[in-house]
Amino acid sequence: MGITSQPSSIVTSLMPAEVMKQNREDVIAKEIGHGRVLTLNRPDHLNSISEKMALMLGQKFEKYEKDENVEFVIVKGAGRTFSAGGELKRLYDGRNTRDSCLEFAYRVYWFCHHLQTYKKPHIALAHGMSMGGGVGLMAPMKFSVVTEKTFCSTPEANLGYHPDCGLSYILSRLPGRLGCP
């Protein structure tokens, strides 16, 4: 894992026109030569990772892993943030239906596992906040490029919860004590 700092103008200038549309996809996929760019496109929800988004990301990553023309995958967030983490509203709304929460957790954790075992180079372009599940999405990437306005947080740890998606393992092994308090 490598972390590189870049000026924010480089990351934000890559915003596709689809971000401005009202009826937009949760994930925008774009082909650039042998690379694929996936944009988390829920800026009005701080790109929180919904069940639909986790499913779409997982399907795209699977497709790209099998495609011999794809050499790398880039993930970035639309708007002012990379990702605020998992969509907790979905869990709250489904608190009385066990299957609903299990399906959401299954999709997200399956995608996290797939990221950590992905065979092709994958890069996160992070600008703004990356919290909880957003860090879980960014941390297992081969490279994470961050701007001077990027900050990462796992607020669930302050509440006594264990960071998910293998973050306790990943963060404790970052160079220079980046993942240690």
Q: What's 63's domain CATH number? A: 3.90.226.10
- The answer to whether 141 and 122 have CB atoms below 8 angstroms apart is yes
Residue with tokens 């669930």, as numbered in its chain: 156
Q: At residue 91, does pLDDT exceed 90?
A: no
> Strands 72-77 and 122-126, how do they pair?
parallel
The structural domain count of the chain equals 1
- The answer to whether 40 and 27 have CB atoms below 8 angstroms apart is yes
Q: What is the mean pLDDT of residues 101-127?
A: 88
Sorting pLDDT into bands at 50, 70 and 90, what band is 79?
very high
**More confident position, 106 or 91:** 106
- The answer to whether 92 and 58 have CB atoms below 8 angstroms apart is no
Catalytic residue among 87, 134, 164, 179: 164
On the 0-12 / 13-18 / 19+ scale of CB atoms within 10 A, 140 is buried
Residue 67 among the catalytic residues: no
Which of 149, 100, 107, 98 has its CA nearest to residue 128? Answer: 149
Q: State which residues form the domain around 161.
A: 2-177
Catalytic residue among 79, 133, 134, 136: 133
Residue 26 among the catalytic residues: no
Residue 51 among the catalytic residues: no
CA distance 164 to 46: 19
Catalytic residue among 77, 134, 156, 179: 156
C-alpha Rg value of the chain to the nearest Å: 16
CA distances from 18 to 11, 22, 103 (A): 16, 9, 29
Catalytic residue among 86, 128, 134, 179: 86
pLDDT at 165: 76
Answer whether 0.85 is exceeded by the pTM.
no
pLDDT at 20: 47
Q: Which two tokens stand for residue 132?
A: 């909880």
